[in-house]
Structure 1
Amino acid sequence: MSKRTSETVTQSVIEKKSKSWSLGLVNSMINPDYIIKQTDRIVVIRDKYPKAKIHYLVLPREDISSIHKLNSSHIDLLNEFGLLFEQLKDQHQEFTLQAGFHAVPSLQRLHMHVISKDMISTWLKTKAHWNSFNTSFFLPYTDVIKELQNKGTITKIGPEKHKDLLATPLKCNQCSYVPKNLPKLKEHLLSHQ
Structure 2
Amino acid sequence: MESNSQDQEFTAQTKKITGTTLDQQSPKPAKRDAFQELLSRKPKQQKQNQTNSSPPRSDLRQKRQVLGGPRDALGAYIARPETYPSNVVVYHNLDFVAIHDLFPKSTLHLLLLPRDPDKMRLHPFDAFNDPEFLTKVKTEVQKLRTLAAGELRRRYGKYSLQDRKREEALNSDPPPDELPPGRDWEKEIMCGIHAGPSMNHLHVHVISVDRFSERMKHRKHYNSFATPFFVNIEDFPLAEDDPRRHPGREGYLKRDFVCWRCGRDFGNRFTELKGHLEMEFDEWKRL
TM-score (norm 2): 0.55
- 2:91–2:98 contact (8 Å) kept in structure 1: yes
Pairing 1:16-27 to 2, within 5 Å after superposition? 18-27=67-76
Q: Which position in structure 1 is the counterpart of 2:217?
A: 125
Match of 2:274 in 1: 186
Contact 1:17–1:23 (8 Å) recurs in 2: no
| More displaced 10-residue stretch of structure 1: 92-101 or 103-112 | 92-101
Residue 38 of structure 1 corresponds to which residue in structure 2?
Answer: 92
Q: C-alpha separation between the residues in 1 aligned to 2:213 and 2:247?
A: 30
Whether 2:233 is the aligned partner of 1:141: answer yes
Structure of higher RCO (CA pairs closer than 8 Å, 6+ residues apart)? 1
1:171 paired residue number: 258
Across the aligned residues of Structure 1 and Structure 2, the Cα RMSD in angstroms comes to: 2.4
Give CA deviations for 1:83-132 in whole Å, capped at 9, x if unaligned: 32233223323462111100111101110001111111111111111010
Matched, 1:69 2:69: no
Task: Give the partner amino acid of 1:111.
Answer: H
Aligned twin of 1:159: 248
C-alpha distance in 1 between matches for 2:233 and 2:68: 30
Does the CA-based 8 Å contact 2:144-2:206 persist in structure 1?
Answer: no
Cα separation, 2, equivalents of 1:156 and 1:169: 20
**Partners of 1:160 and 1:76 in 2: how far apart?**
29
Aligned-partner Cα distance in 1 for 2:255–2:219: 8
Hey, what's the Cα distance between the residues in 2 that align with 1:16 and 1:62?
A: 22
Q: Secondary structure at the match of 2:198?
A: coil
Cα distance in 2 between the residues matched to 1:158 and 1:36: 31
Task: Answer with 91-100 or 164-173: which moved more.
Answer: 91-100
When residues 158 and 87 of structure 1 are mapped into structure 2, their CA distance, relative to the original with a 3 A threshold, is: closer
Contact 1:82–1:141 (CA under 8 A) maintained in structure 2: no
CA distance in 1, matches of 2:275, 2:226: 17
The CA distance in 2 between the partners of 1:97 and 1:167, in whole Å, is 24
Structure 1 residue runs of 4+, over 3 Å off?
Answer: 14-17
CA deviation profile, 1:27-55 (whole Å, cap 9, x unmatched):
23435142012222111100011111100
TM-score (norm: length of structure 1): 0.79
Identity of aligned residues (%): 25
- Comparing 91-100 with 52-61, which one deviates more in the overlay? 91-100
Larger Rg: 2
The gaps in structure 2 that reach 5 residues or longer are: 1-62, 157-184, 283-287
CA deviation vs aligned residue, 1:148-193 (integer Å, no higher than 9, x gap): 6x88xxx7326322xx100011010010222251111110011121
Relative to structure 1, the CA distance from residue 142 to residue 123 in structure 2 (aligned partners, 3 Å threshold; closer, same or farther) is same
The answer to which of 134-143 and 34-43 deviates more is 34-43
> In structure 1, what residue type is equivalent to 2:101?
D
Q: CA deviation at 1:135?
A: 0.4
Partner residue in 1 for 2:55: none
Distance 1:15 1:72 in 2: 35
Q: Secondary structure at the match of 1:179?
A: strand
CA distance in 2, matches of 1:100, 1:158: 15
Match of 1:101, SS state, is strand
SS at match of 1:92: helix
User: Which amino acid in 1 is paired with 2:216?
Assistant: L
